[in-house]
């Protein structure tokens, strides 16, 4: 994989992150201004993840038949058309459908680019490449909310800007030469998608847990922590400063942790960051002051903010090349399930237990994944004929 090829792929995923990071706060602000209920606002936000889950079972077969590039082109086009459609179609339920379509398009783009990167990376540079991939999405997602002030000028302006930026990045896809994922050695003897998914789960189930954990953590912090913080008497202004601390820590340490995972092994690094993250949230639960929580969020972001990218790299270590499309899909499904369960489980926990400490709940989840990595039985596949070329 050439440098230009790799650069185009991470550019695409950064713009995808930007559009997602823009949609969530912009639509929330528009709905709040229009007097929509908080419940409707929250339900509406699930549309993107519903789109991911609906599309996931139907992704692998087209990828094998058409190759990486057509899926990226189709997914990007779907996202761009949906973003511009927000300008002209002003119905709450049509917007729900458009968010669902953005979820489907983004998942097509993510699945294709992610599988392309993992399948064309060697064991020696996989952690670095996937960390750069995750970092580019994280940076894009972090810049998305900066579109919110444009709502004051016009509610359509954030969608116009995001749509134009996405269109400009999408045009770079046409410089790529189409490639196909590795064929299964059993393809001629009745191998099918269901069998590949089963084998991917059998060989790599433990690697899907960090993706689930990251999705759970991300939405629990963004969805449940503000409520919990207000109950503790922490001001809204302080919450607005505390939450970005996690993302900042994640961005700063994504690449270094990827390099370390190449040197010391994905599983070892995951075990260390999970225990560090659990200790950070446990400390935040013991000393719930804004300064301590902010510091703990930053350190937790440095550690577990890379769970998703490290989980993908670990999955790529465990599975042979022909199972990587199924493995990447299962990582996406795990992340989406965690993202949907996070705010629901966090809200239920705080409602069910009167003196509930949200940080202890998060600590237990992280320790559960840590124990699964300790005791989970996985068998790393022998080196298969992967591409020896590396992305620089």
Architecture of domain 193-381: Up-down Bundle (1.20)
**Tokens in use for 267?**
């599983």
Segments making up each domain of the chain, as ranges: 1-179, 193-381
For the stretch 262-300, pLDDT in tens is 889 889 999 999 999 999 999 999 988 899 999 999 999
Residue 186, SS3? coil
In this predicted model, which residue has the larger pLDDT, 353 or 171? 171
Domain 1-179 sits in CATH 2.30.30.60 = no
**Tokens in use for 336?**
């989406």
pTM exceeds cut of 0.95: no
Query: Distance (Å, rounded) from C-alpha 147 to C-alpha 179?
Result: 35
Query: Distance (Å, rounded) from C-alpha 262 to C-alpha 123?
Result: 7
Give me the half-sphere count of Cα atoms (radius 13 Å) on the Cβ side of residue 22: 29
Mean pLDDT lowest for which of 3-12, 289-298, 348-357?
348-357
Query: Distance (Å, rounded) from C-alpha 321 to C-alpha 253?
Result: 28
Query: Distance (Å, rounded) from C-alpha 104 to C-alpha 71?
Result: 11
Q: Is the pLDDT of residue 386 over 90?
A: no
In this predicted model, which residue has the larger pLDDT, 328 or 353? 328
In this predicted model, which residue has the larger pLDDT, 161 or 28? 161
Angle between helices 307-318 and 236-264 (to 10 degrees): 30
pLDDT at site 382: 43
């Amino acid at each position: 994989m050439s440098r230009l090829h790799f650069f185009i792929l991470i550019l695409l995923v950064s713009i995808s992150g930007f559009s997602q990071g823009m949609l969530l706060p912009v639509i929330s602000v528009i709905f709040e201004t229009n007097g929509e209920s908080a419940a409707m606002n929250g339900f509406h936000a699930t549309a993107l993840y519903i789109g991911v889950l609906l599309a996931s079972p139907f992704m692998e077969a087209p990828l094998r038949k058409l190759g990486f590039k057509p899926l990226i082109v189709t997914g990007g086009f779907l996202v761009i058309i949906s973003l511009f459609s927000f300008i002209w179609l002003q119905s709450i339920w049509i917007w729900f459908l458009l968010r669902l379509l953005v979820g489907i398009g983004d998942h097509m783009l993510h699945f294709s680019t992610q599988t392309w990167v993992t399948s064309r990376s060697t064991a020696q540079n996989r952690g670095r490449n996937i960390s750069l991939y995750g970092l580019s999405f994280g940076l894009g997602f972090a810049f998305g909310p900066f579109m919110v002030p444009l709502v004051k000028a016009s509610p359509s302006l954030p969608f116009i800007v995001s749509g134009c930026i996405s269109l400009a990045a999408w045009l770079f896809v046409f410089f790529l030469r189409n490639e196909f994922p590795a064929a299964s050695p059993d393809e001629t003897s009745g191998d099918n998608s269901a069998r590949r998914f089963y084998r991917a789960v059998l060989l790599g189930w433990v690697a899907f847990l960090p993706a689930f954990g990251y999705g759970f953590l991300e939405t629990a912090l963004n969805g449940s922590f503000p409520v919990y913080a207000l109950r503790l008497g922490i001001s809204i202004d302080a919450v607005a400063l505390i939450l970005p601390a996690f993302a900042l820590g994640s961005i700063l340490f994504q690449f270094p942790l990827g390099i370390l995972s190449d040197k010391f092994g994905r599983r070892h690094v995951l075990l260390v960051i999970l225990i560090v993250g659990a200790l950070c949230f446990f400390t935040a639960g013991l000393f719930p002051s804004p300064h301590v929580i902010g510091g703990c969020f930053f350190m937790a972001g440095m550690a577990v903010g890379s769970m998703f990218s490290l989980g993908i790299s670990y999955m790529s270590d465990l599975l042979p090349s022909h199972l990587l499309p199924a493995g990447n899909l299962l990582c996406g499904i795990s992340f989406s399930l965690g993202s949907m369960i996070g705010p629901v489980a966090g809200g239920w926990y705080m409602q069910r237990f009167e003196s509930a400490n949200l940080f202890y709940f998060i600590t237990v989840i992280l320790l559960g994944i840590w124990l699964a990595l300790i005791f989970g039985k996985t068998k790393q596949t022998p080196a298969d004929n992967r591409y020896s070329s590396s992305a620089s």
